[in-house]
């Protein structure tokens, strides 16, 4: 009888310990998720402001983006440290492990997106008081800005709603940004475009910054699909290519 009573007491203690650890893990994971949400919103604000700085030759907004990048870097570092602590102390497995590892990768990718927004703002600041883009290139960059702004806003929504279909549509529609990027090369190599050497350099670099921002947005969308469903994030979603982002 004594053995059975001691055995039950030990089982009960382990159950309580396991429950307590689970509560702690869930609480810690929620804190990390909140930080990731703040990071995604910070990146969305940064790319919005970077576009305004570029298209409006707004040096104050450009400087705000440049100065604000340090906060995004710190937030990414906080998420990294928190996730490493979770891995070391909680030893998560299966779905929990996927969530923590995916969060690590998401934070790193969002941070790179913030860097690209800073690069756009730095280009705008360097060209001030002139605009870094020629009038003939304005329409292309307005469309690129609209695309990345919409995509970054969608990422914050997907983080909150776990909407896999929205993530898949974002991935599909990246082709549109790639096509706009191609137009920047056409302009840069056109003999009919009377641009200075610096304008050509800025055009090519800005096109690349926007294109890479879009690529990172796709990477985030793929990781979110993986986080939610467990499917390989490199697998092409089964959607028609002409489906619009909504």
Asked if residue 129 has a cis previous peptide bond (ω within 30° of 0), the answer is yes
Q: Is residue 83 part of a domain?
A: yes
28-39 per-position pLDDT tens digit: 888 999 999 999
The number of distinct structural domains making up the chain is: 1
In-domain check, residue 241: no
Among the listed residues 142, 133, 140, the one whose alpha carbon sits nearest the alpha carbon of residue 195: 133
Q: Is the pLDDT of residue 242 over 50?
A: no
Q: Is 234 a member of any domain? A: no
Q: How far apart are CA 137 and CA 202, in angstroms?
A: 11
CATH of the domain at 49: 1.20.58.220
Model confidence pLDDT, tens digit, residues 42-100: 999 999 999 999 999 999 999 999 999 999 999 999 999 999 988 888 777 778 888 88
Q: Report residue 90 as tokens.
A: 């909680």
d(CA 164, CA 158): 7
Tell me the per-residue pLDDT of 200-239, one tens digit each, with 9 for 90 and over: 899 999 999 999 999 999 999 999 998 888 776 565 544 4
State the residue for tokens 């008081």: 129
Q: How far apart are CA 120 and CA 184, in angstroms?
A: 15
Mean pLDDT computed over every residue of the chain: 87
Which domain covers residue 190, as residue numbers? 2-229
In the chain, what is the straight-line distance between the N-terminal and C-terminal CA atoms, in Å? 66
Per-residue confidence (pLDDT) for residue 245, from 0 to 100:
39
Residue 50 near residue 62, CB atoms below 8 Å: yes
* Domain assignment present for 185: yes
The more confidently predicted of residues 205 and 244 is 205
Q: Please enumerate in sequence order all residues whose Cβ is within 8 A of that of 172, keeping only pairs 6 or more positions apart, or say none.
A: 237, 239, 240, 241, 243
């Amino acid at each position: 009888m004594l053995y059975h009573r001691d055995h039950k007491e030990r089982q009960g203690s382990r159950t309580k310990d396991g429950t307590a650890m689970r509560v702690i893990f869930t609480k810690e994971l929620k804190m990390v998720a909140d930080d990731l949400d703040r990071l995604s919103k910070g990146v969305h604000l940064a790319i919005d402001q970077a576009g305004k700085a570029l298209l409006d030759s707004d040096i104050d907004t450009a400087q705000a983006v440049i100065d604000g990048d340090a906060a995004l870097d710190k937030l990414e570092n906080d998420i990294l440290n928190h996730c490493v602590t979770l891995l070391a102390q909680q030893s998560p497995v299966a779905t929990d492990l996927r969530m923590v590892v995916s969060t690590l990768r998401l934070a790193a990718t969002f941070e790179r997106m913030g860097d690209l927004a800073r690069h756009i703002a730095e280009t705008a600041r360097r060209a001030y008081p002139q605009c870094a883009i020629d009038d003939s290139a304005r329409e292309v960059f307005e469309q690129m800005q609209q695309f990345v702004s919409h995509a970054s806003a969608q990422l914050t929504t997907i983080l909150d709603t776990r909407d896999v279909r929205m993530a898949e549509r974002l991935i599909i529609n990246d082709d549109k940004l790639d096509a706009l990027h191609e137009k920047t090369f056409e302009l840069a190599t056109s003999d009919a475009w009377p641009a200075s050497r610096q304008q050509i350099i800025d055009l090519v670099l800005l096109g690349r910054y926007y294109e890479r921002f879009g690529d990172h947005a796709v990477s985030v969308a793929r990781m979110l699909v993986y986080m939610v469903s467990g499917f390989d994030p490199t697998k092409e979603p089964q959607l028609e290519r002409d489906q619009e982002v909504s």
